[in-house]
Amino acid sequence: MSRRRPSEREKKGPSQRQLRVGEELRHLLAELLERGDMRDPELRDASITVTAVDVSPDLRNATAFVMPLGGQDEERLLAALRRAAPWFRARVGEKAQLRYAPEIRFQVDRTFDEADRIGQLLRRPDVARDIKDD
């Protein structure tokens, strides 16, 4: 394991261009999923929300965070999305005004689970007592 220090660029977070491209990709993926033009019947009938897309600094890789409606069949739908990733890349490459179509990886978005867990912790009586305004 290397012990190098993070550069200033790594400390800052994503650039404005990365954020803009990520948002554009999120809209394109959501549109493709909404239309249901895929060959895979598991994806054609599924309701999937694209919550965010993180793009690498070179704009060649993207991670799309998705959440199936109701959180049902996550693994099955994630496997179907991963199988269809080359199809999504081709469609995004046609519509996005980018030099290279990014390789898209799909992951289930766990931020809602984490927010729920934090909310439960804050509602515990011993914690609520400590944060209560006097």
* Structural domain span for residue 75: 8-109
The answer to whether residue 48 sits within a structural domain is: yes
pLDDT above 60 for 111: yes
The answer to whether residue 3 sits within a structural domain is: no
The answer to whether residue 118 sits within a structural domain is: no
The counts of H helices and E strands in the chain are 7, 3
Fill in the DSSP letter of residue 21: H
Question: How does strand 103-108 pair with strand 48-55?
Answer: unpaired
28: Cβ–Cβ under 8 A, 6 or more apart, which residues?
91, 92, 95, 96
First vs last C-alpha separation in the chain: 48
Q: How many CA atoms lie within 13 A of 62 on its CB side?
A: 30
Domain count, the chain: 1
The answer to whether residue 128 sits within a structural domain is: no
Q: How confident is the model at residue 83 (pLDDT cuts 50, 70, 90)?
A: very high
Rounded to two decimals, what is the model's pTM?
0.77
The answer to whether residue 87 sits within a structural domain is: yes
pLDDT above 80 for 16: yes
CATH of the domain at 57: 3.30.300.20
d(CA 62, CA 94): 16
20-67 residue pLDDT tens: 999 999 999 999 988 878 888 888 888 888 999 999 999 999 999 999
